[in-house]
Amino acid sequence: MTIPLAVFAASELDAHDTPPWHPEHKGRLDASLAGVHEAGLDDAVSWRIPEMASVDDLALVHDRVYIEQIEQFCAEGGGQIDADTSATPGSWVTARRSAGAVLGAIEALRADECDVAFAAGRPPGHHAVPDRAMGFCLFNNAAVGAAKLAEAGERVAIVDWDVHHGNGTQDIFYDDPRVLYVSTHESPLYPGTGHLREIGDGAGYGSNVNLPFPAGTAGDTYRAAFDDVIVPLIERFAPTWLIISAGYDAHRADPLAGIGLTSADYADMARRLQALVPQRRLLVVLEGGYDLEALTYSTGATLSALVGGAYRPEPASTGEVGRATVTAARQLWEL
């Protein structure tokens, strides 16, 4: 029997410890998963313990030497990788399980076991480039899933609404015509990439889309971006699968950024994306989000929208900031 929602998560097996001051901590995963209950989805969900991604799976998007370095670094006790990113002995297994959650979600959808799947793991992934960890991320979870699908002959769209640009995902697929990468993010902000005219290279020219918004941008502008730019470009690409890189740090309460979205805005964006691929071909992958209440509300609103629910603990946000970005993107893409 097909269930509405499968959630791949294992907070009880999370052994990726971060320093006490770090915004990316174990409580984030618990807060996100609490959104399932808050949205009233208990009777609609099947909870799954994700398997660990294999080294071969990780090597679809990461250099094998880098993968070996992370394994050895963790085995030797870990430590700080850069100013933002750290690892501990348990990070190797936990990061592989985070990537494995995405692969498990894909398999459940492919087997018609669920209508929508949520891969909820940490650390997040979209900043991890082929040969380096950065921005809290060790392995690029969404990219592993997209690469696995592309290897099987699928056309994959990734929509990344995290407030920080997913430089790792962009780098991995920048010259790959099988994957369309779309990012909405605040600019200027870490990591300083994601400019409007970064649109791909070589065979992948035209398959990379960035909408860099100024601080203060709200949901009305995001909805306009989806309606006028993102949805038409995804329809033009005609994907067979869609992955949402669902960071929730563009919420107005988030301490690390200045975009003004609410949980209802995420619900609106999710519904727009769901219609763009065949049934049971959409999965949600947790990225950032550092205000715990906002993370709970936003996860719940997203998943509720995707299974036909009406959970909206906050009203949608409105404003005119950022409209110039939408106009510029329409002109660039001739829409």
Q: What is the pLDDT of residues 126-170, one digit of tens each?
A: 999 999 999 999 999 999 999 999 999 999 999 999 999 999 999
Q: Which of 16, 25, 62, 127 is catalytic?
A: 127
Look at residue 38 in the predicted model and tell me its pLDDT: 98
Look at residue 37 in the predicted model and tell me its pLDDT: 98
Query: Is the pTM of the predicted complex or chain greater than 0.95?
Result: yes
* Cα–Cα separations (whole angstroms), residue 103 to 41, 49, 97, 232, 264: 23, 12, 10, 28, 28
Concerning whether 22 is annotated as a catalytic residue, the answer is no
- pLDDT above 70 as % of the chain: 100
Decide: 107 and 94 in contact? Cβ < 8 Å: no
Which tens digit of pLDDT belongs to each residue from 70-100? 999 999 999 999 999 999 999 999 999 999 9
Look at residue 159 in the predicted model and tell me its pLDDT: 99
- Convert the chain into a string of H (helix), E (strand) and C (coil): CCEEEEEECCHHHCCCCCCCCCCCCHHHHHHHHHHHHHCCCHHHEEEECCCCCCHHHHCCCCCHHHHHHHHHHHHCCCEECCCCCEECCCHHHHHHHHHHHHHHHHHHHHCCCEEEEEECCCCCCCCCECCECECCECCCHHHHHHHHHHHCCCCEEEEECCCCCCHHHHHHHCCCCCEEEEEEEECCCCCCCCCCCCCCCHHHCCCEEEEEECCCCCHHHHHHHHHHHHHHHHHHHCCCEEEEEECCCCECCCCCCCCCECHHHHHHHHHHHHCCCCCCCEEEEECCCCCHHHHHHHHHHHHHHHCCCCCCCCCCCCCCCCHHHHHHHHHHCCC
Q: Which residue has the tokens 């719940």?
A: 300
**How many domains does the chain divide into?**
1
Among 278, 185, 186, 188, which residue's Cα sits nearest to residue 239?
Answer: 278
pLDDT at 249 over 90: yes
Decide: 24 and 12 in contact? Cβ < 8 Å: no
Look at residue 1 in the predicted model and tell me its pLDDT: 81
Q: Which residue has the tokens 């994601």?
A: 194
Look at residue 331 in the predicted model and tell me its pLDDT: 98
Taking the C-alpha atoms of residue 136 and residue 107, their distance in angstroms, rounded to an integer, is: 27
Structure tokens at 77: 């006790």
Look at residue 78 in the predicted model and tell me its pLDDT: 97
What are residue 76's phi and psi, to 5 degrees?
-90, 10
Which tens digit of pLDDT belongs to each residue from 256-299? 999 999 999 999 999 999 999 999 999 999 999 999 999 999 99
Which tens digit of pLDDT belongs to each residue from 176-235? 999 999 999 999 999 999 999 999 999 999 999 999 999 999 999 999 999 999 999 999
Taking the C-alpha atoms of residue 287 and residue 238, their distance in angstroms, rounded to an integer, is: 25
Burial call 124-157: b when 16+ CB within 10 Å, e when fewer: bbbbbbeebbbbbbbbbbbbbbbbbbbeeebbbb
State the residue range of the domain holding 279.
Answer: 3-332
Look at residue 247 in the predicted model and tell me its pLDDT: 98
Decide: 244 and 283 in contact? Cβ < 8 Å: yes
- CATH number of the domain residue 188 falls in: 3.40.800.20
Query: Residue 182's beta-bridge partner residues?
Result: 159, 209
pLDDT at 4 over 90: yes
What are residue 48's phi and psi, to 5 degrees?
-125, 140
Decide: 216 and 318 in contact? Cβ < 8 Å: no
